[in-house]
Structure 1
Amino acid sequence: NKEGKYVPVKSIWILWSKILVATIPAAVIGLLLDDWIDAHLYNGFVVAIMLILVGVAFIYVENRNKDMRPSVNSLAALSYKDALIIGLFQVVAAILPGTSRSGATIIGGLMIGVSRAVAAEFTFFLAIPVMFGASLLKLVKFGFSFSLLEFFILAFGMIVAFVVSIFVIRFLMSYIKKHDFKVFGWYRIVLGIIVLVFFMVRAIF
Structure 2
Amino acid sequence: MPDWLTAILLGLIEGLTEFIPVSSTGHLLIAEKWLGHRPDWFTVFIQVGAALALLPIFWNKLMGLLIGWQKPESRDYLLKLMLAFFITGVGGVILDKLNFELPDTVGPVAWATLIGAFVIWGIEFWRKSPQGNPSVTWTIAIVCGLAQLLAAVFPGTSRSGATIMAALALGLARPAAAEFSFILGMITLTAAGGYKLLDAWKDGELHGAGALDLTLGFVAAAVSAFIVVKWLLRFVQNHNFNGFAIYRFILGVVLLVWFNN
Alignment TM-score > 0.5, same fold: yes
Cα shift at 1:178: 1.7
| Residue number among 184, 196, 203 corresponding to 1:126 in the alignment | 184
Query: Conserved in 1, the CA contact under 8 Å of 2:80 and 2:141?
Result: yes
Report the 3-state secondary structure (helix = DSSP H, G, I; strand = E; otherwise coil) of the residue aligned with 2:101.
Answer: helix
Q: 1:105 maps to which residue?
A: 163
Q: 1:57 maps to which residue?
A: 119
1:47 aligns with 2:109: yes
Query: Conserved in 1, the CA contact under 8 Å of 2:124 and 2:240?
Result: yes
Separation (CA, whole Å) in 2 of partners of 1:68 and 1:118: 14
Change (3 A) 1:69 1:13: same
Alignment length, in residue pairs? Answer: 194
CA-based RMSD of the aligned residues comes to 2.6
Report the 3-state secondary structure (helix = DSSP H, G, I; strand = E; otherwise coil) of the residue aligned with 1:196.
Answer: helix
Letter in 2 for 1:23: F
Query: Conserved in 2, the CA contact under 8 Å of 1:42 and 1:97?
Result: no
Report the 3-state secondary structure (helix = DSSP H, G, I; strand = E; otherwise coil) of the residue aligned with 1:36.
Answer: coil
1:197 aligns with 2:261: no
1:129-144 to 2 correspondences below 5 Å: 129-143=187-201
Q: Larger deviation: 177-186 or 161-170?
A: 161-170
Separation (CA, whole Å) in 1 of partners of 2:112 and 2:188: 20
Q: 2:140 maps to which residue?
A: 82
Separation (CA, whole Å) in 2 of partners of 1:124 and 1:104: 12
Query: Conserved in 1, the CA contact under 8 Å of 2:132 and 2:174?
Result: no
Q: Is there any run of 5+ residues in structure 1 with no aligned partner, and where?
A: none
Change (3 A) 1:44 1:149: closer
Q: Larger deviation: 138-147 or 163-172?
A: 138-147
Q: Larger deviation: 138-147 or 89-98?
A: 138-147
Query: Conserved in 1, the CA contact under 8 Å of 2:84 and 2:144?
Result: yes
TM-score (norm 2): 0.66
| Residue number among 26, 32, 40 corresponding to 2:94 in the alignment | 32
Cα shift at 1:179: 1.1
Q: Cα deviations across residues 75-117 of structure 1 (Å, max 9, x unaligned)?
A: xx21223211221122210110111100100111011001111
Q: Which runs of 4+ in 1 moved over 6 A?
A: none
Query: Conserved in 2, the CA contact under 8 Å of 1:29 and 1:94?
Result: no
Query: Conserved in 1, the CA contact under 8 Å of 2:201 and 2:207?
Result: no
Query: Conserved in 2, the CA contact under 8 Å of 1:86 and 1:108?
Result: yes
Larger relative contact order, structure 1 or 2 (CA cutoff 8 Å, min sep 6): 2
TM-score (norm 1): 0.82
Separation (CA, whole Å) in 1 of partners of 2:210 and 2:79: 34
Q: 2:79 maps to which residue?
A: 17
Q: 1:154 maps to which residue?
A: 214
- What is the percentage of aligned positions where both structures have the same residue? 28
Separation (CA, whole Å) in 2 of partners of 1:108 and 1:174: 20
